[in-house]
Amino acid sequence: GAGVSQSPRYKVAKRGQDVALRCDPISGHVSLFWYQQALGQGPEFLTYFQNEAQLDKSGLPSDRFFAERPEGSVSTLKIQRTQQEDSAVYLCASSPAGDNEQFFGPGTRLTVL
Partner 1 sequence: AQSVTQPDIHITVSEGASLELRCNYSYGATPYLFWYVQSPGQGLQLLLKYFSGDTLVQGIKGFEAEFKRSQSSFNLRKPSVHWSDAAEYFCAVGDITGGGNKLTFGTGTQLKVEL
Q: Which is nearer to partner 1, 23 or 79 (CB)?
A: 23
56 is a contact residue toward partner 1 (CB under 8 A): yes
| The only residue of 29, 43, 90, 110 in contact with partner 1, by rule CB under 8 A | 43
Residue closer to partner 1 by CB (options 56, 85) is 56
Give Rg (Cα) of the chain: 13
Cite the beta strand spans of the chain per DSSP E: 5-7, 10-13, 19-24, 31-37, 44-50, 53-56, 65-68, 75-79, 88-95, 103-104, 108-112
Rule CB under 8 A: is residue 41 a binding residue for partner 1? Answer: yes
Q: Pairing state of beta strands 53-56 and 44-50?
A: antiparallel
Q: Which stretch binds partner 1 (CB under 8 A): 18-26, 60-68, 78-86, 91-99?
A: 91-99
Binding region for partner 1 (CB under 8 A):
3-4, 31, 33, 35, 40-45, 48, 50, 55-56, 59, 91, 93, 95, 100-107
